A = this chain, B = another copy of it.
Amino acid sequence: MKSPRSISCGGESVAWIGPGLLDQAASRLPSDSGRFLLVSSAGPAVPAERIRCALAGRLLLDLRIDDREESKTLEAVRAIADAALEADVRRDDAFVAVGGGVVSDVVGFAAAVVLRGVAWSAVPTTTGAMADAAIGGKTGVDTPAGKNLLGAFHPPRVVLIDPAALETLPDRDYRAGLVEAFKAAWIADAALSDAAEASAKRLLAREEESLLDLIAGAVRIKAAIVTEDLREGDRRRLLNFGHTLGHAFEAAGGYRALRHGEAVAWGIAGALEISSRRAGLPAADAERIRRMLQRLGPFPEPDRNPGRLEPYLRRDKKSTAQGLAGVLLERVGHARVEPAIPIEEWLGAATGASLKS
Known contacts A143-B82, A317-B90; A149 and B117 CB within 8 A of each other: no
Which secondary structure characterizes the binding site on chain A? Answer: mixed
Complex CA distance for A69 and B152, rounded to whole angstroms: 25
**What CA separation (Å) do A177 and B112 show in the bound complex?**
30
Residues of B within 8 A of A148 (CB): 116
- Please, how many angstroms separate the alpha-carbon atoms of A81 and B150 in the complex? 8
Give the residues from 18 to 53 in chain A that come closer than 8 angstroms, CB to CB, to chain B: none
Q: Which of A108-152 contact B (CB under 8 A)?
A: 109, 112-117, 138, 140, 143-146, 148-152
A12 near B: Cβ within 8 Å? no
Are B149's CB and A114's CB within 8 A? yes
Q: Is A334 an interface residue (CB 8 A)?
A: no
> Which A-B residue pairs are the 7 nearest by beta carbons?
A85-B145, A116-B151, A113-B150, A85-B149, A81-B150, A116-B153, A74-B78
9 further A-B pairs in the complex, CB-CB below 8 A; given A114-B150, A115-B150: A81-B143, A82-B144, A85-B143, A85-B149, A91-B317, A109-B113, A112-B152, A115-B317, A116-B151
Interface residues of A (CB under 8 A from B): 74, 78, 81-82, 85-86, 90-91, 109, 112-117, 138, 140, 143-146, 148-153, 231, 317
